[in-house]
Amino acid sequence: MKRLTALAVIGLFGATAFGRAPVSNLPVSSQATFVESYSPAEVTINATGMGGKHGFFDDMEKNALLDARKSAVNFVLTGGTDPLLNTPAAKNTFAGVAEDFFANDNVMKYISWEADNVISTIRTKLPSGDDGIKTTKLFRVNKQKLSEYLGSIGIVATREQLADAQGTPTIMVIPEVPKGQTPIQVFDSNPLAKQAAAVIESYLTARKYDVIVPRAQEQLNDMTQMQGEMKGVDADPSYELALSLGSDVYIVYSGSVTNGKASVQVKAYETTTGRLLGTETGYSATRSGAAQEALVEEAINGAIDNVLARLTAYWTDDLKQGIQYKLIFKVTGTFSDIETVQDKLSDAISEGFAKSKENIVTDKTMDYQVWAKKDEFKQANNVYRFLKDKMKGTAKLTKVSINRKLIIATLGNE
């Protein structure tokens, strides 16, 4: 009789606990905040988890801790200013695999460290209305490993895919300089500037970007007079150095250390177009008596990860449209009807490229941006030759310089 009673009790709990709809594997809590970029691969996240009893024997504290881990990983995927899933298409695709991704302890593959002690544990009400536990704790998420997983299942483009499609971006790191100075002079006179460049370059090389070091180049005045005239503004040594050394992107930084606290602003520009790709300001904690170098490194760590995320997002977006080239034409010939030359050039650009942008058209200068498919234009010289052929009979197109994605040419009389 006792045996039957025990079975009846178990049956009663089974009917109430196991008769519910299946519990979702997705995070219950969406409470998480960014703490720091711990390394080029890892970020520290303060995450809160919520847990209740899914079954009669469930441990609410254990479920809350598991949910906090999921919340930390989910923040890197979808939260903050620069999530890994940074487009609606990527988020929609991930939604189809999210249940499997968050199943059991799968997220532990992407957590490289968690604090020994919780920050807080309190009683709470779950979104379902049931009683539960809310737990907050620090976690370190391997963002690079998570990105590689998303790439392996085709949700985001891997760096290898980007490199195959349009080449690997070459990056140079230089300090912002006052008027009358060059980046090399700042490096020579300011040890903190040199150390800051080394920290950023370490991030870049750890993520396998190609890095150009200005010191490795002896000539800093390779810019032609034409390139200086085209800008029409005061000389920008950072831009000129990046352009003369052939980087696709240059990263400029500036900052200060005051009263034991460092702040550093990091900006990334596409060299040939001058487009701002990302900017972020990082801060160190206030530590009186701490070495300035350590404070600067901490501040950079708070900024560079977001800037690189935006740089990668830009590169991925550009990939969909093609490789972006900047075309600058200087009119050196004497034409009775300059509009005929301009119209011919415009028609040639419209014919060759699915997308283009007309920036400047004057009697002396024509400035365009075009997006070229790599299977049609494998390199910048192919773009130049296409336009040269199209202009025959109207004007003579002569190459001045080709620097990665910048093409400068003259339009003269045939």
Residues 354-375 pLDDT 10s = 889 998 899 999 999 898 887 7
**270 and 352 inside one domain:** no
**74 and 122 inside one domain:** yes
Looking at 121, 147, 173, which one is the last position of a domain? 147
**93 and 117 inside one domain:** yes
**122 and 175 inside one domain:** no
Asked whether residue 198 is assigned to any structural domain, the reply reads yes
For residues 388-398, average pLDDT: 94
Looking at 119, 147, 175, which one is the last position of a domain? 147
**71 and 169 inside one domain:** no
pTM to 2 decimal places: 0.66
Provide the pLDDT for residue 25.
92
DSSP string, 108-127: GGGEEEE-SS-SEEEEEE-T
Provide the pLDDT for residue 215.
65
Number of domains in the chain: 3
Band the pLDDT of 219: cuts 50, 70, 90. Answer: very low
Looking at 320, 341, 357, which one is the last position of a domain? 320
Provide the pLDDT for residue 377.
85
**272 and 302 inside one domain:** yes
Is the per-residue pLDDT at 216 higher than 90?
A: no
**283 and 198 inside one domain:** yes
Q: Residue 61's domain spans which residues?
A: 24-147
Residues 32-85 pLDDT 10s = 999 888 888 899 999 999 998 866 556 889 999 999 999 999 999 999 888 899
Among 201-205, 206-210, 295-299, the least confident range? 206-210
**28 and 48 inside one domain:** yes
- Look-up of token digits 């080449």: 167
Asked whether residue 110 is assigned to any structural domain, the reply reads yes
**211 and 239 inside one domain:** yes
Asked whether residue 9 is assigned to any structural domain, the reply reads no
* Helices of type H across 212-337: 225-231, 237-245, 292-321
Q: Position 106: which residue type?
A: N
Asked whether residue 182 is assigned to any structural domain, the reply reads yes
Q: Check if the beta carbon of residue 242 is closer than 8 Å to that of residue 172.
A: yes
Among 41-55, 160-174, 231-245, the least confident range? 231-245
Band the pLDDT of 272: cuts 50, 70, 90. Answer: confident
**79 and 130 inside one domain:** yes
Asked whether residue 219 is assigned to any structural domain, the reply reads yes
Domain holding 173: CATH number? 3.40.50
**108 and 182 inside one domain:** no
**293 and 391 inside one domain:** no
Asked whether residue 331 is assigned to any structural domain, the reply reads yes
